Structure 1
Amino acid sequence: MTDRQIAWLVSRDLLHPSLILPLAHFSNKKGITLINPQAVNLDAYKQKLEKAIKSYERRLNLVIWRALSQEERDKFKEDGPVQYMEHKEALLEALENLGWPISYEDVILLEDEILAALTYIQQASDLQEAVKKEIEKNAELHISKNKKVQIGRAFFFFPRY
């Protein structure tokens, strides 16, 4: 990944350097240079995010479920908490009808945290893909620099400059 690509990711808040870049050089021009992108364990980072998402979703579902009246719960025809993200509009309407027994801001805060974590997972996946492409590109360049061409019985080496 080039300095320019990394700077672009950072300038558009597509990369959160404090969370995933332990081996980086920061410049005063909002640029970041990865010193060793393979040393960043993005898979572990994504697993932690997925665990946090599950925890936040469980918490959000449970908090909302407990705030609903039995009459509102019966509308969903489920024994336990329903998935907030799947029934968002109906759940928000039910909470509004009940006079917001839990704060709207608290609900939105948890939802925003879940969405932010999903965004970070996508960014980590994008970064992994970019690093993979860069490695493949460098490998192809290395192979093509040392390519052998056979003409008759003689081999010629054509280095690429």
Structure 2
Amino acid sequence: MSKSLNPEIIETATNHFCDLFQLSSCMERYKVEAMGVTRLQGYAIMQLFHEETLSLQELATNVRLASSTMSRVMDKLVERELVERDFDVNDRRRMIFQLSEDGQLLAETIHCCYEELYEMLMVEIPVDEQEKFLYNLGKILDKMRETFEEHICPCKGIAGNLKNTLKN
């Protein structure tokens, strides 16, 4: 621990971050599962909402899952006709996924729920403090990505993809 940081501040920050991660996970699960998909399926749907088409490996990397796990998630989404699977026109060995019409509608609904949720939270921060809050939140996320890439997963190089995942 850095000598310049107050231990009480570190303890409070630790507790707040733990609560934030736990509550956001619960809120997300509640919102997404209320729409009839699992949280992992919701992550995959939102990745395709933002990227339009992705390969299985790209999806697995972005969502930070093993390819075998992502394959099962995608099989269920294809089976429910929320996602379409096809061969890449440039590389027939590569499968790509995109949202079906129903999947697109569901993704838009999920996206609106996230926007409503975060608007409800941001309204609690005074308008003149919102930019500073977002700036500091961005600094924290950048440090988390850097730490993830350097110390937790240095060989996989997925922290760059994490940036897009965490932004959305």
Using the size of structure 2 for normalisation, the TM-score is: 0.29
Larger-gyration structure (1/2) = 1
The normalised TM-score by structure 1 is 0.30
Greater helix fraction, Structure 1 or Structure 2: 2
